[in-house]
């Protein structure tokens, strides 16, 4: 892989992790506090939803760190080694955790009577977004499992070729 491409990807990963940290520290808590100020009946829901959002962003950051490590392995030419599976498994695990968080939010939104200032449209929109997040999380996790199996096959072929040569 071209060195400039790896540098560009790493710059994007750093930017995404920093944006996630900013979101976790500033944006998510501030937005929740503003919503509670605007509509006080949201107060009991603020802390759990802020926690879920922060953990969800952390899942993305964990996956980004794993991608960083996989890029380092690509640069060294060591991507077809058993160590790569640890990082791919970290990506799959973080996707599963994030998806389970989205499932929990979807269930809570569907089953709980959450007060709303505008006839429930905010809750319906949030429920729709949570359902989409579950679908995307499941899809991403399945794609990563398929990619892991392809990496396994490529690693096995690399090992066979090394024995032949």
Say what the pLDDT of residue 31 is.
96
State pTM to two decimals.
0.89
Q: Smallest Cα–Cα separation from 136: which of 90, 98, 107, 108?
A: 98
Confidence bin at 132 (pLDDT 50/70/90)? very high
Q: What is the pLDDT of residues 75-126, one digit of tens each?
A: 888 889 889 999 999 999 999 999 999 999 999 999 998 888 877 678 888 9
Q: What is the spatial distance between Cα 157 and Cα 65, in angstroms, rounded to a whole number?
A: 27
For residue 7, what is the DSSP state?
H
Lowest mean pLDDT among 34-43, 50-59, 91-100: 34-43
Positions of E strands within the chain: none
CB atoms within 10 A of CB 98: 25
Mean local confidence (pLDDT), 29-44:
94
């Amino acid at each position: 892989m071209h060195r400039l491409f790896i540098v560009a990807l790493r710059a994007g990963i750093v930017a995404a992790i920093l944006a996630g940290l900013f979101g976790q520290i500033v944006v998510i808590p501030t937005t929740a506090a503003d919503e509670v100020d605007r509509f006080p009946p949201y107060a009991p829901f603020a802390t759990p939803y802020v926690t879920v959002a922060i953990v969800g962003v952390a899942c993305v950051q964990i996956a980004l760190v794993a991608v960083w490590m996989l890029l380092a392995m690509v640069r060294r030419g060591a991507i077809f080694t058993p160590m790569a599976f640890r990082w791919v498994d970290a990506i799959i695990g973080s996707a599963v955790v994030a998806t389970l968080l989205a499932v929990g939010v979807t269930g809570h939104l569907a089953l709980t009577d959450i007060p709303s200032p505008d006839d429930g449209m905010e809750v319906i929109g949030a429920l729709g977004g949570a359902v989409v997040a579950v679908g995307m999380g499941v899809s991403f996790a399945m794609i990563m499992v398929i990619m892991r199996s392809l990496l396994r096959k490529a690693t096995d072929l690399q090992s066979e070729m090394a024995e032949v040569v």
